[in-house]
């Protein structure tokens, strides 16, 4: 029922704008409004804060179905989870009430600020600092590659509170868009997910109350990594949706397109491509859903399974979307058809929330 209702909504309210959102590189406001109206913008927020209380698997299905028609739009529920999960996992009860309630209502989105210009895969090498000043913390630094920056109201920011301790000297804070000293860089000009703004976040003497720290001092990096164990699965879901959208479109196309007097779907070479695409998507789906169940239960092997799902599903998405473009031939290479957009969108799933090379390191360190 959940899948059917999200698919119907995505087809009716999100799909019609997907090409324009990509072409104009603009935030998918129509998708945002439709998701908020149907309480699908942040389904993971617990019911106690006015949220839908969806479990990890339900969240995955929502993201998958939105990504099937528009990858940029699927980053609304995905990044709302990424940005707010540190507060859910480690924040005080007061902090949760203060920020989960407006998030659940749709009054503000949540972004996640970990990466920096010189700290990408080596996130512990960050330079952003937070210095204690009485009942306040003062933050200074630059965060890069921040999804939905400038649109989101709330930001989970990782900053160094004790430079001597490397990863154990990093703390997490909630910063608000309206805090004095917060500003944003120009939107990045990207290959794909053009409807999701990616910008730098500048923190210039941003003074925030001490109770905006998420968890205890020095636990920020551990919270950031724990968050990614859960949210990598949402990227797997996004990749899965993109791949499914590409297969669905290609499947319809090859039945219509005639060459040598018959539909190209009748040729075995084409059939084998479709069979491989469907098989790999199904394998990615099973891995992703199993990882989502582990995320919900908090299983010991979640770190491995989350990395495996993200890595496998994103590699499948890149392969399947590339094959979809091939199946459409010259038409696939034009912007008149959606598969070239899907191919461009798929690429980022192999890069963000930890490159697939980093996922392989994570898996190797956590072999079951």
Q: How far is Cα 96 from Cα 99, in angstroms, rounded to an integer? A: 5
Cα 335 to chain centroid distance, Å, stands at 24
Given pLDDT bands bounded at 50, 70 and 90, which one contains residue 207?
A: very high
Q: How far is Cα 100 from Cα 114, in angstroms, rounded to an integer? A: 20
* Residue 188 designated active-site: no
Given pLDDT bands bounded at 50, 70 and 90, which one contains residue 25?
A: very high
Q: Mean of the pLDDT values across residues 212-239?
A: 98
pLDDT of residue 368: 84
Q: pTM to 2 decimals?
A: 0.98
Angle, helices 302-327 vs 356-365, to 10°: value is 150
Q: Is 322 exposed, middle or buried (0-12, 13-18, 19+ CB in 10 A)?
A: middle
Q: What is the pLDDT of residues 45-59, one digit of tens each?
A: 999 999 999 999 999
- Residue of 65, 116, 340, 353 marked catalytic: 353
- Sign of the Cα torsion 330, 334, 336, 339 reads positive
3-state secondary structure of 55: coil
pLDDT of residue 205: 98
């Amino acid at each position: 029922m959940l899948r059917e209702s999200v698919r119907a909504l995505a087809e009716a309210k999100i799909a019609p704008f997907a090409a324009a959102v990509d072409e104009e590189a603009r935030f998918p406001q129509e998708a945002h409004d439709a998701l908020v109206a149907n309480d699908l913008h942040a389904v993971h927020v617990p019911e106690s804060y006015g949220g839908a209380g969806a479990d990890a698997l339900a969240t995955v299905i929502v993201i998958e179905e939105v990504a099937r028609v528009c990858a940029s739009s699927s980053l609304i529920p995905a990044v709302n989870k990424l940005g707010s999960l540190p507060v859910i996992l480690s924040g005080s009860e007061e902090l949760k009430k203060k920020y989960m309630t407006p998030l659940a209502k749709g009054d503000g989105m949540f972004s996640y600020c970990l990466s920096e210009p010189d700290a990408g895969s080596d996130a512990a090498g960050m330079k952003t600092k937070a210095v204690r000043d009485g009942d306040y913390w003062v933050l200074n630094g630059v965060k890069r590659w921040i999804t939905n920056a400038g649109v989101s109201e709330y930001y989970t920011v990782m900053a160094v509170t004790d430079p001597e301790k490397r990863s154990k000297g990093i703390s997490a804070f909630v910063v608000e868009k309206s805090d004095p000293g917060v500003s944003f860089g120009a939107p990045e000009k990207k290959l794909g997910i053009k409807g999701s703004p990616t910008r730098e976040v500048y923190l210039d003497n941003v003074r925030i109350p001490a109770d905006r720290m998420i968890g205890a001092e020095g636990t920020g990096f551990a919270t950031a990594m724990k968050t990614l164990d859960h949210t990598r699965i949402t990227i797997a879901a996004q990749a899965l949706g993109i791949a499914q959208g590409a297969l669905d479109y290609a499947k319809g196309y090859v039945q219509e397109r005639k060459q040598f007097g018959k539909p190209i779907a009748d040729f075995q070479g084409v059939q084998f491509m479709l069979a491989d695409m469907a098989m790999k998507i199904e394998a990615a789906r099973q891995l992703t859903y199993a990882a989502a169940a582990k995320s919900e239960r908090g299983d010991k092997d979640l770190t491995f399974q989350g990395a495996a799902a993200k890595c496998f599903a994103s590699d499948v998405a890149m392969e399947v979307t590339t094959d979809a473009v091939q199946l459409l031939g010259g038409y696939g290479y034009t912007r008149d058809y959606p598969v070239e957009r899907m191919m461009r969108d798929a690429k980022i799933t192999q890069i963000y929330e930890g490159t697939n090379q980093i996922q392989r390191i994570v898996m190797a360190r956590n072999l079951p």
